[in-house]
Amino acid sequence: MEFQNTREFAKGLDAADKLAKYRDEFLFPHVNGKQVIYFTGNSLGLQPKRTKAYVDEVMDDWAKLAVEGHFYADKPWWDYHERFSAPLSRIVGALPSEVTVMNTLTVNLHLLMVTFYHPTAKRFKIICEEKAFPSDQYMIRSQVRFHGLEPNDAIVEIKRREGEHNIRLEDVLDKIKEVGDELALVLIGGVNYYTGQVFDMKTITKAGQDAGAYVGWDLAHAAGNIKLELHEWNVDFAAWCSYKYMNSGPGNASGAFVHEMHHNDLDLPRFAGWWGHNKERRFLMEPEFDPVRGAHGWQVSNLPVLSLAPYLASVEMFDEVGMDALIKKRDCITSYLEFILHEIDKEVDSTFEIITPSEPSERACQLSVFLHGEGRSLFDYLMQNGVITDWREPNVIRLAPVPLYCSYEDMYEFGQVLKAGILSHKK
């Protein structure tokens, strides 16, 4: 498609967009009395309007039924999480038995590392990416120390080549071969939070497992954003948050995946809790833990139903839309945003550097842009003029044109605000 930097062209794309109606399903903040252009769905998604009804349902059941809501609510609380299994499995490419919802993201990664990281004197190293999200860095280092190891000895970071912003696949594979039989675990963010780079999870998973290691993925920026096939890729485990692209609300519940090949291996260590115990015998209060055969068997505590209600609202919306339709629009609207950035760059004689890969298969719903010659003041101008975006030091803005609620006209209008901001600083 040949793009044009005009409002009329952008409106034409919106008119032909089969997902355009979902924009009205969300609540937008306003700045100066005008609805914002929202680019931070990679940090916190907008609130779906349908969410309130799901939360109100739980509140009403609590008021009317109290403890009996566990069994007699319209959506009984004791198996509320099971409603996620089918739709969430379609979002992440899993079997229904391989997914569950529980806790929050870093908690789930810690719990999964209990199962999938048990170092020996010889096989003890973890491969992760350089400049992973800080929470992952803290988690991995603390796990290594918990096992009596030194992070500098046990953690191997895949680094970017000098002068490059993204990690090369061949460098990941070479590092896996280099570490060899010392490798216990590969744990990488499926989509890098800073650059928006999408890793080849299928290839990396196979390489890690061929080396004798487990392979897990932090899918915080991937779930609800990219095409995942966790079962087919043979991924050992994964976890993701629900409040970014999946719009479940701040700090909300996490999803987790455990491949079915591990479901019946009762020798795998895990931290046990009541809600992971055999569902049919849970209320017999037995002393010995008998885990559910499936991802639900990694649950620990009973469910935060008030947190799960917004997530269920979102998951059911995703199921209506389907990941294929989302990805088709995601690729088009991200390409249009890229085009707009290049056009404005030429018009204002500035120098933008998009550090996100240009190849669609290596990126998702994010463009990270170095604003060479521009500083924090340009970001402040955007925010003050109704463009909600994300600033990362030293001078990068992250732009996430989420296909469920961003429009092509938003992309055009952003370009105009960006141009005005740059020109105002040059005066």
The sign of the torsion formed by the CA atoms of 126, 127, 132, 133 equals negative
Q: How many domains does the chain have?
A: 2
The residue range of the domain holding 157 is: 52-321
Same domain, 249 and 333: no
The whole-angstrom separation of Cα 294 and Cα 57 is 28
- Give the pTM: 0.95
Q: Are residues 298 and 384 in the same domain?
A: no
Q: Would you say 278 and 257 are in contact if contact means Cβ atoms under 8 Å apart?
A: no
Flag whether 31 is in a domain.
Answer: yes
In a domain, 385, yes or no: yes
Same domain, 335 and 270: no
Percentage of the chain exceeding pLDDT 90: 89
23 within some domain: yes
Kindly report which listed range (289-303, 349-363, 393-407) carries the lowest average pLDDT score. Answer: 349-363
Q: Select from 305, 321, 337 the last residue of a domain.
A: 321
pLDDT at 426: 66
**Two structure tokens written together for 181:** 């039989």
pLDDT reported for residue 131: 84
Per residue in 67-89, pLDDT (tens digit) is 999 999 999 999 999 999 999 99
Which residue, 280, 303, 321, sits at the end of a domain?
Answer: 321
On whether both 25 and 78 belong to a single domain, the answer is no
Residues 24 and 109 placed together within one structural domain of the fold: no
pLDDT of 126 higher than 90? yes
Q: Please report, for the domain that includes residue 382, its CATH number.
A: 3.90.1150.10
Residue 2 maps to a domain: no
The continuous run of DSSP H or E covering 327 comes out as helix 323-348
Domain boundary among 275, 298, 321: 321
CA distance 31 to 134: 31
d(CA 383, CA 285): 54
Tell me what the pLDDT averaged over the chain comes to. 95
Q: Is residue 347 in some structural domain?
A: yes
Position 427 scores a pLDDT of 62
> What is the reported pLDDT for 154?
98
**186-233 confidence digits (pLDDT tens):** 999 999 999 999 999 999 999 999 999 999 999 999 999 999 999 999
263 close to 236: Cβ distance less than 8 angstroms: no
Identify whether residues 258 and 167 lie together within a single domain. Answer: yes
100 and 140 in a single domain? The answer is: yes
Same domain, 391 and 270: no
